[in-house]
Amino acid sequence: MAGSIVALVNLEKVVFGFFVLLAATLNFGFFIGDMADPSLHNINALYAAVIVNIVATVLKLGDRTQIGAIHLATSLVADLQLLSAAAVWIYATQGTEAGITTESMSLVVSLSGGALFANVVSVVLLVTETVSFRRQ
């Protein structure tokens, strides 16, 4: 029975979909909340979003199709924005005496929001690709 279930599921696509959705949900978890309130945005959630987005990007590298190129582009945008958000957070906390201010926190959350939009585009592409595959 277990062998027949594994045969029906393409494990590569499951792992790919898992990381695309996990990247979006982790980013959403960090993004949600008042932009200016650092207590509502956990740095560990941002770091987790960065790491999972990078893993999702690596998984997208092998696809040579047009939709694969768009997947990769959305992932690279999300990576760039999340890495920028992390850099702003690190600079604000380690490189300034003021620490994380409302202005710097707003910038971090805004960058995360841009990455979230890229993640949503990637999820929409994934769902669209899956639906169109089923119809063939």
CA angle 25-54-58, nearest 5°? 120
Contact criterion met (CB below 8 Å) for 125 and 80: no
Q: Quote the CA–CA distance of 121 and 126 in Å, as a whole number.
A: 9
Q: Tell me, what's the pLDDT at 5? A: 55
Q: Tell me, what's the pLDDT at 1? A: 52
Q: Tell me, what's the pLDDT at 130? A: 84
Structure-block tokens of residue 62: 């092998």
Q: Tell me, what's the pLDDT at 136? A: 47
What does the longest C-alpha to C-alpha distance in the chain come to?
62
- Rounded to a whole number, what is the distance in angstroms from the first to the last CA of the chain? 27
Name the residue ranges covered by the structural domains of the chain.
10-135
- pLDDT, one tens digit per residue, over 67-79 is 889 999 999 999 9
Q: Quote the CA–CA distance of 41 and 37 in Å, as a whole number.
A: 7
Q: Tell me, what's the pLDDT at 3? A: 55
Residues of the chain with confidence (pLDDT) below 70: 1-9, 134-136
Q: Tell me, what's the pLDDT at 129? A: 87
